[in-house]
C-alpha cells in the first residue's frame, strides 16, 4: 500500500552539540495502520513521535531527514506555514488529558472549536460530534456536552481526547502513552475506541507506550527503539512471537505473565544517553550476546522476511540461545501467625459520600497481599486510611493486635515507624531541593539515629541494598530516572525498618525493564527482611508473581479475597472474571507456548 506517513533518515540532535537523540530513523505507515513504538524511557520514542508532527522539544534540533504526511512535507517550513499545513492533517493525544482540556470550558465548546475552521454548518458540526463520540463509546447528549472536564472519569477524558483528535479526520494521529495509569477495564475501552476510529476513518496512528502488552493488543506493526535508533520493526504477532534482536528479547523477558508466577528478568546496565560515545552497536554494552566486533562495527538495517533488524548477530542467534534465560518460578513465602495488620469494618467518606463500605482484611507476617480493582474502587483511599493520611473514616485498623489512631499525627513514633507508605509518583514525593542523601538522612534523624557517621553508613548500606550506587546520595532528584527515584523512595521507607510496607501503584508509570527491577527488589526485600507488603495495583499481570493473596475491590467493597492462584485461576465473582478477561496479553493464550524467548 502507498504509505500515508513516510519518515526517512531522520536525525535529531541536542542543539549546539553533536549529541544525537535520534539517529537515521526511517519508518512508514499505510492508511489506517497502527504502528506501536516501544522501548525503555530515554530510548527516543517521544522525540520520534513529535518529530513525525514536524515538532521537537526546546533544546533539540532536526538536522537531517524527511517527514511526509499525506504527501506533504513537514520539515524545513516557516513556523506559521507549518501550523497552517498541520491543520486538519495531523493530531496529537497527550498522556495526560487533564493538561490538554480547558478546565473552564464545557466539553461541547471545546469539541466545536476543533471543527470551527472547516466551514461546516452548525448542523453538520453537531452531527459530526455525535458520530465520533458514539464511536468512542461516549454519550453525545446535550447534558453530556454541557459538562466540564473535571466531571468525567480518567478513562472518559482520555476517550474524549481521542475523539477530538479524530474529529477532523487527520491523516496521522500521534498518541503518547494514552493508557498510562488506567485500570485494565478502562484501558480496554480506550484501546477499542482507538482501533474503531482508526479503521473507520482510515487514519494512521503512531502509538507510543511502555506497556508492551497493550501494544501487542492494538498495533498492526511494532518498532522497537533504543538509543535513538529503531533496532527492530515488523508485524506485531511475528515480532513478539519470535523476536530477532537481543534488545527485543530482553524487553519481552521483562513482561509479566498473567498465567504464571515468575521472577522477571531486568536488563543489566543503564539506558544509553545522547552524550555516550556512539561507536558500534548502541545496545552492545548491555547485550548478553555481544562480541568484540559489536563495540566497533555499526550495524546497518537488514531485512529478514517481513522484519527489519539492526544487529550484526541476527543470523547467528537462535531461540535456543535464550532458553536458559527464561523466567523461573517465584515460590510463595509466608509466616503463619497473628496478623500484623487487621482492618475491621472500615468505612471512609469524602464529605457526605461514603466510598468504602465495611472493608475487612488482614495481612499475615511476611506475606504480600495484592489489592486490585478499577480506578475509583477505593484502593488508594483504603491505603491512606491505614497509614493515617485520611481522616474521615470509621472502623478499626490494628497493628499486631493494637488499635491505631485515626490520623498519623495522633500515632506514636513506634507506630509511625512500623507502617510506611511508598507513593505512586516518586517525582512528587521526593523534595526537589534536597539531595538523596539529605532526604534519607532526615528519615534517620526522625527515628532517633543521632550519630552522623552511623547515619552515613546506613545510607550507603541502604542504597546498595536497593541496587543504587553510593555516589547517588549527592544527586538531586531531577538527575535521576523514574526507576531510580522509585528506588530512593523505597530506600527511605526501609530506613525506618517497618513491619508493613504499603506500595501504592509504584510501577504504574515505569517501563517494563524498570518495573522488573522494582518488583524483583520488593520480592527480595520481602524475603530478606520478612516484610509484610500491601501491594496496590491495577496491573493484574504482576499480581501472580509478587503476592501470596489477592483482594479485589469494587465500588468500595471487597468482592473476592483469597490465595492468589485460586482467585486468578478460578474467580468466583463476575467482576473478578471480567477484570481477568480484560488483561492485555502479549500473544493470544493459545500461542504462549510458541513464543521463542
478: Cβ contacts below 8 Å, ≥ 6 apart: 432
Least confident of 227-236, 328-337, 442-451: 328-337
**CATH of segment(s) 341-426+501-592:** 3.40.50.300
Span between the terminal Cα atoms of the chain, in Å: 32
The pLDDT value given to residue 483: 75
Nearest to 584 by CA among 183, 250, 266, 244: 183
Are the CB atoms for 430 and 439 separated by under 8 Å?
yes
Cβ neighbours of 457 (radius 10 Å): 12
pLDDT for residue 368 is more than 50 = yes
Cα(451)–Cα(456) distance, rounded to whole angstroms? 9
pLDDT for residue 382 is more than 70 = yes
SS3 278: coil
pLDDT in tens, 385-438: 999 999 899 999 999 999 999 999 999 999 999 999 998 777 778 899 999 999
**CATH of segment(s) 3-89+170-321:** 3.40.50.300
Instruction: Specify the pTM.
Output: 0.81
Cβ neighbours of 479 (radius 10 Å): 12
Least confident of 114-128, 199-213, 359-373: 114-128
**What value does the mean pLDDT take over residues 509-526?**
82
The pLDDT value given to residue 308: 95
With cell 452548525, the residue in question is 122
pLDDT classification of 7: cutoffs 50, 70, 90 = very high
Cα(346)–Cα(557) distance, rounded to whole angstroms? 10
pLDDT in tens, 177-199: 888 767 788 788 888 888 988 99
The pLDDT value given to residue 185: 80
Strands 34-38 and 500-504: unpaired
pLDDT for residue 49 is more than 50 = yes
**What value does the mean pLDDT take over residues 489-502?**
91
Nearest to 468 by CA among 453, 452, 480: 480
Q: Pinpoint the residues of the chain covered by CATH 3.40.50.300.
A: 3-89+170-321, 341-426+501-592
CB-based burial label for 345 (10 Å; 0-12, 13-18, 19+):
exposed
**What value does the mean pLDDT take over residues 34-59?**
90
pLDDT for residue 332 is more than 50 = no
pLDDT in tens, 237-264: 999 999 999 999 999 988 887 777 666 7
Which residues does residue 207 pair with via DSSP β-bridges, in sequence order? 36, 175
Per DSSP (E only), the strands in 152-211 are: 172-176, 204-208
Residue 224: phi and psi, rounded to 5, are -100, 120
Amino acid at each position: 500500500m502507498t504509505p500515508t506517513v513516510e519518515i526517512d533518515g531522520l536525525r535529531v540532535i541536542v542543539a549546539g552539540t553533536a549529541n544525537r537523540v535520534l539517529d537515521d530513523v526511517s519508518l512508514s505507515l499505510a492508511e489506517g495502520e497502527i504502528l506501536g513504538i516501544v522501548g525503555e524511557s530515554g530510548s527516543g520514542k517521544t522525540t520520534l513521535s513529535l518529530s513525525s508532527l514536524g515538532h521537537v522539544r526546546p533544546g533539540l534540533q532536526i538536522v537531517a531527514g524527511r517527514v511526509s504526511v499525506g504527501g506533504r512535507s513537514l520539515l524545513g517550513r516557516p513556523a506559521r506555514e507549518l501550523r497552517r499545513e498541520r491543520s486538519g492533517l495531523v493530531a496529537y493525544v497527550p498522556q495526560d488529558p487533564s493538561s490538554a482540556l480547558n478546565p473552564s470550558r464545557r466539553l461541547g465548546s471545546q469539541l466545536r472549536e476543533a471543527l470551527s475552521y472547516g466551514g461546516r454548518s452548525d448542523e453538520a458540526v453537531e452531527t459530526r460530534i455525535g458520530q465520533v463520540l458514539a464511536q468512542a463509546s461516549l454519550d453525545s447528549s446535550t447534558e453530556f456536552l454541557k459538562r466540564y472536564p473535571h466531571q468525567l472519569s480518567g478513562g472518559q477524558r482520555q476517550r474524549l481526547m481521542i475523539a477530538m483528535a479524530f474529529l477532523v479526520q487527520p491523516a496521522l494521529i500521534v498518541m503518547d502513552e494514552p493508557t498510562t495509569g488506567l485500570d485494565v477495564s478502562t484501558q480496554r475501552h480506550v484501546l477499542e475506541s482507538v482501533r474503531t476510529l482508526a479503521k473507520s476513518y482510515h487514519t494512521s496512528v503512531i502509538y507510543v507506550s511502555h506497556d508492551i502488552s497493550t501494544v501487542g493488543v492494538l498495533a498492526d506493526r511494532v518498532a522497537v527503539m533504543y538509543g535513538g535508533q529503531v533496532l527492530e520493526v515488523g508485524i506485531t504477532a511475528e515480532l513478539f512471537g519470535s523476536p530477532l534482536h537481543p534488545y527485543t528479547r530482553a524487553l519481552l523477558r521483562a513482561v509479566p505473565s498473567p498465567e504464571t508466577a515468575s521472577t522477571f528478568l531486568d536488563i543489566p546496565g543503564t539506558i544509553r544517553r545522547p552524550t555516550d560515545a556512539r561507536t558500534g552497536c548502541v545496545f552492545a554494552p548491555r547485550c548478553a550476546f555481544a562480541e568484540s566486533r559489536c563495540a566497533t562495527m555499526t550495524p546497518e538495517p537488514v531485512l529478514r522476511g517481513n522484519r527489519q533488524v539492526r544487529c550484526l548477530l541476527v543470523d547467528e542467534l537462535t531461540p535456543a540461545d535464550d532458553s536458559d534465560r527464561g523466567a523461573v518460578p517465584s515460590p510463595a513465602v509466608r509466616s503463619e501467625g497473628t496478623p500484623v495488620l487487621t482492618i475491621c469494618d472500615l468505612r471512609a467518606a469524602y464529605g457526605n459520600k461514603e466510598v468504602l463500605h465495611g472493608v475487612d482484611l488482614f495481612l499475615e507476617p511476611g506475606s504480600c497481599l495484592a489489592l486490585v480493582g478499577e480506578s475509583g474502587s477505593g484502593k488508594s483511599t483504603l491505603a491512606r486510611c491505614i497509614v493515617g493520611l485520611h481522616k474521615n473514616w470509621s472502623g478499626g485498623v490494628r497493628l499486631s493486635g493494637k488499635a491505631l489512631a485515626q490520623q498519623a499525627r495522633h500515632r506514636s513514633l513506634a507506630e509511625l515507624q512500623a507502617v510506611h507508605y511508598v507513593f505512586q509518583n516518586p517525582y512528587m514525593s521526593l523534595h526537589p531541593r534536597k539531595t538523596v542523601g539529605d532526604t534519607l538522612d532526615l528519615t534517620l534523624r526522625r527515628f532517633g539515629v543521632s550519630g552522623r557517621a552511623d547515619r552515613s553508613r546506613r545510607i550507603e548500606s541502604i542504597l546498595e541494598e536497593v541496587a543504587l550506587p553510593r555516589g547517588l546520595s549527592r544527586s538531586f532528584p531531577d538527575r535521576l530516572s523514574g526507576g531510580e527515584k522509585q528506588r530512593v523512595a523505597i530506600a527511605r521507607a526501609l530506613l525506618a525498618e517497618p513491619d508493613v510496607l504499603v506500595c501504592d501503584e509504584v510501577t504504574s508509570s515505569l517501563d517494563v525493564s524498570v518495573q522488573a527491577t522494582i518488583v524483583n527488589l520488593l520480592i527480595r526485600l520481602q524475603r530478606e527482611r520478612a516484610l509484610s507488603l500491601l501491594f496496590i495495583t491495577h496491573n493484574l499481570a504482576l499480581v501472580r508473581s509478587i503476592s501470596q493473596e489477592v483482594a479485589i475491590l469494587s465500588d468500595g467493597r471487597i468482592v473476592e479475597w483469597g490465595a492468589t492462584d485460586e482467585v486468578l485461576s478460578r474467580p468466583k465473582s463476575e467482576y473478578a472474571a471480567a477484570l481477568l478477561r480484560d488483561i492485555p496479553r502479549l500473544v493470544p493464550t493459545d500461542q504462549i507456548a510458541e513464543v521463542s524467548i
